[in-house]
Chain A
Amino acid sequence: MMITRRRALLGAALSITLLAAGCGGSDDSDSGGAAAETTVSEADVQAALDAGGAIKVWAWEPTLKQVVADFQKKYPKVKVELVNSGTGNDAYTALQNAITAGTGVPDVAQIEYYALPQYALAKNLTDLNTFGASGLDGTFTPGTWNSVHAGEAVYGLPMDSGPMALFYNKEVFDKHGIAVPATWQEYAAAAEKLHAADPKAYITSDSGDAGFTTSMIWQAGGKPYTVDGTNVGVNFSDPGTQKFTGLWQPLIDKKLLNPVPGWSDGWYQGLADGTIASLVIGAWMPANLESGVKAGNGKWRVAPMPQWEAGGKATSENGGSSIAIPEKAANKTLAYAFLKYATVDEGAATRAANGAFPATTKELGSTEFLGKEFPYFGGQKVNEVLAASAGQVVPGWSYLPFQVYANSIYGDTVGKAYLGQGTLQDGLKSWQDASVKYGQEQGFTVK
Chain B
Amino acid sequence: MTDTLTIRPAARGAQRDGSVKRRHRSITLTVITALALIYSLLPVVWLLISSTKTQEGLFSSFGLWFSGDFALFGNIADTFAYQDGIFARWLLNTFLYVVVGAGGATLLNALAGYGLAKFNFRGRAAVFAVVLGGVAVPPTALAVPTFLMFAKMGLTDTPWAIIIPALVCPFGLYLMWTYATDAVPDEILESARVDGAGEFKIFFSLATPLLAPGLVTVLLFNTVVTWNNFFLPLIMLKDPDLYPLTLGLYSWAEQASTVGGDVVYNLVITGSLLTIVPLIAAFLLLQRYWQSGLAAGSVKQ
List residues of A whose CB falls within 8 A of some B CB. Answer: 8-9, 12, 15-16, 58, 60-63, 83-88, 90, 93-94, 97-98, 100-104, 160, 162, 263, 265, 268-269, 272-273, 282, 284, 287-288, 291-292, 294-295, 319, 321, 355-356
* B260 adjacent to A97 (CB under 8 Å): no
A58 touching B238 in the complex, CB below 8 Å, given contacts A101-B152, A104-B157, A284-B260: yes
Complex CA gap A263/B263 in Å reads 10
Q: Bound state CA distance, A103 and B148, in angstroms?
A: 10
Is the Cβ of A319 less than 8 Å from the Cβ of B262?
no
- Any A CB within 8 A of the CB of B212: no
CB-CB under 8 A from A93, the residues of chain B are: 235
A321 to B258, CA, bound (A): 12
* Number of interchain pairs (Cβ within 8 Å): 102
Q: How far is the CB of B251 from chain A (nearest CB, A)?
A: 7
* Shortest Cβ distance from B149 into A: residue: A101
In the complex, chain A residues whose CB is within 8 Å of the CB of B235 = 12, 93-94, 97
User: Is B42's CB within 8 Å of the partner chain A?
Assistant: no
- Which 9 A-B residue pairings sit nearest by Cβ, starting from the closest? A101-B151, A292-B263, A263-B257, A287-B260, A269-B59, A284-B259, A272-B59, A87-B258, A62-B260
Known contacts A84-B251, A160-B259, A291-B262: A9-B234 contact under CB 8 Å: yes
B residues contacting A by CB (< 8 A) are 55-56, 58-60, 140, 143-144, 147-148, 151-152, 154, 156-157, 231, 234-235, 238-240, 251, 254, 256-263, 265
Q: What would 5 more interface pairs be, CB under 8 Å, given A94-B235, A263-B257, A294-B55?
A: A88-B257, A101-B147, A103-B151, A287-B260, A288-B263
Do the beta carbons of A12 and B231 come within 8 Å of each other? yes
Q: Who on chain B is nearest to A289 by CB?
A: B263
A-B contact pairs, 7 of them (CB 8 A): A12-B231, A62-B260, A83-B239, A90-B234, A101-B151, A103-B151, A104-B156
A103 touches B258 (CB 8 A): no
A12 to B234, CA, bound (A): 11
CA of A425 to CA of B239 in the docked complex: distance in angstroms? 44
A272 and B147 form a contact (CB under 8 A): no
Give chain B residues whose Cβ lies under 8 Å from the Cβ of A356.
260
B256 and A295 within 8 A (CB) = no
Given contacts A12-B143, A87-B257, A103-B151, contact A94 B238 (CB under 8 A): yes
B residues near A294, Cβ cutoff 8 Å? 55-56
Contact check, A291 vs B263: say whether CB atoms are below 8 A apart.
Answer: yes
What's the minimum C-beta distance from A44 to chain B, rounded to whole angstroms?
Answer: 29
Closest to B265 in A: A265
Tell me if B152 and A268 are in contact (CB < 8 A). Answer: no
Q: Considering residues B156, B239, B254, B260, which has the most beta carbons from chain A within 10 angstroms of its beta carbon? A: B260
CA–CA, A61 to B258, complex, Å? 8
Given contacts A265-B265, A292-B263, contact A60 B148 (CB under 8 A): no
Q: Which residue of B is nearest A1, CB measured?
A: B43
CB of A61 within 8 A of CB of B260, answer yes
Task: Answer whether A295 and B238 are a contact pair too, CB < 8 Å, given A12-B231, A62-B261, A104-B151.
Answer: no
- State whether A295 touches B59 (Cβ < 8 A): yes
